[in-house]
Chains A and B, each alone.
Chain A
Amino acid sequence: MEKIYSRPKALQNRATGYCPGCLHGTTVKIIAELIDEFGIQDSTVAVLPIGCSALDCWSFETDMIISLHGRAPATATGIKRNAPEKTVIVIQGDGDLASIGLAEIMHAANRGENLTVIFMNNGIFGMTGGQMAPTTLIGQKATTAQGGRTEAHGYPMHMCEILNELKAPYYIQRCAMDSPAHVREAKKAIRKGLENQMNGKGFSFIELMSNCPTNWSMSAEKSIEYMREYTLKEFQIGVYRDGGEK
């Protein structure tokens, strides 16, 4: 019998820091698989944010830095400009990228920095205890919106569409992580993002729709069903830009 699927070498030999059923773990795994496939473990720098995505520091077996809250694209800009031979992967959550880090991501994208940004969108602040995020759906409950988000709190922000208004980004795609087929599609998108960076094409942005069983107060299976029923209807998956100007 031949082994056709195994744990990637770019992962540390320990359990992740994530709750059971959290798709952050799946994301780390597919990124680690790509690092293995490209053979870039020694030349990869993962730039991590504040929030649950920072727990990737218990998973990656590569160089890493945890930047200030929301400032990961700025930190990554510095690393990439000073060490262009490195592959710089920025991983941010929605509470980090779409709220406190909104300025940094907009300007990094507007400059067309040669980075690959992975945006984990689970519609809530995970690590701090389930507060409402800019991406929380209307009607979705959070600890700071006990009756569900209303129009008075604003509407969910669609980062792919917002970044697609800029001229400089090279590649923008939104994927989902709810099924094996979608995960494989997301892996392809991240592969493309990394290839773009290696070929010096510029800014690649991949948004991954994810879950948060703990703060959505449901089981992992229920959270997948919730994603399919509500989240993926609000956030349409697809390629928003491929290859420079729209």
Chain B
Amino acid sequence: MAKVEIRSEFCKSCKLCIMACPKDVLAVGSKVNAAGYEVVEMKEGAECIGCASCAVMCPEAAIEVYK
């Protein structure tokens, strides 16, 4: 089982990670960061396969992937 961690201070809520994810694991959450962006987070119970497509696309290098 893999997982992604999003460093909320960098996220700009552009949704490129959501677009890149083949398993529909990510969604915009309700948490707002200091810059005013709604931070992306992993959906509850979602099955991440650790392909790192989201992290490859992220323009802010905000995503870390664990496998």
CB of B60 within 8 Å of the partner chain = yes
CB of B16 within 8 Å of the partner chain = yes
Chain A positions within 8 Å of B19 at CB level: 221, 224
Chain B positions within 8 Å of A8 at CB level: 61
CA–CA, A221 to B16, complex, Å?
A: 7
CB of B52 within 8 Å of the partner chain = yes
Residues of chain B at interface, number, CB under 8 A: 31
CB of B42 within 8 Å of the partner chain = no
Interface string of B20-63 (1 = CB under 8 A from A): 10000000000000010100000000000011110111111111
Give the Cβ gap from B42 to chain A, nearest Cβ, in Å. 14
Specify which of B2, B14, B50, B53 is in contact with A20 (CB 8 Å cutoff): B14
Give the Cβ gap from A10 to chain B, nearest Cβ, in Å. 10
In contact, B60 and A5 (Cβ under 8 angstroms):
no
Chain B positions within 8 Å of A24 at CB level: 59
CB of A198 within 8 Å of the partner chain = no
Chain B positions within 8 Å of A32 at CB level: 61
CB of A21 within 8 Å of the partner chain = yes
CB of A127 within 8 Å of the partner chain = no
In contact, B14 and A220 (Cβ under 8 angstroms):
yes
Q: For chain A residues 8-58, which have a beta carbon within 8 Å of chain B?
A: 8, 11, 15-16, 18-26, 29, 32
CB of A66 within 8 Å of the partner chain = no
CB of A6 within 8 Å of the partner chain = yes
Residues of chain A at interface, number, CB under 8 A: 31
CA–CA, A8 to B55, complex, Å?
A: 12
CB of A152 within 8 Å of the partner chain = no
In contact, A25 and B59 (Cβ under 8 angstroms):
yes
CA–CA, A192 to B25, complex, Å?
A: 33
Residue of B9, B14, B59, B66 with highest tally of chain A CB at under 10 A: B59
Chain B positions within 8 Å of A11 at CB level: 61
In contact, B3 and A21 (Cβ under 8 angstroms):
no
Chain B positions within 8 Å of A25 at CB level: 58-61
Give the Cβ gap from B47 to chain A, nearest Cβ, in Å. 15
Chain A positions within 8 Å of B62 at CB level: 7
In contact, A21 and B50 (Cβ under 8 angstroms):
no
CA–CA, A3 to B2, complex, Å?
A: 10
Chain A positions within 8 Å of B10 at CB level: 15
Q: Which residues of A contact B (CB under 8 A)?
A: 1-8, 11, 15-16, 18-26, 29, 32, 179-180, 183-184, 213, 219-221, 224
Listed A/B pairs (8) with beta-carbon separation below 8 Å: A4-B67, A21-B15, A24-B59, A25-B58, A29-B59, A29-B61, A180-B57, A213-B14
Given contact pairs A6-B64, A21-B15, A29-B61, enumerate 10 new A-B contacts (beta carbons under 8 Å): A7-B62, A11-B61, A15-B35, A15-B60, A21-B12, A21-B16, A180-B20, A184-B56, A220-B15, A221-B15
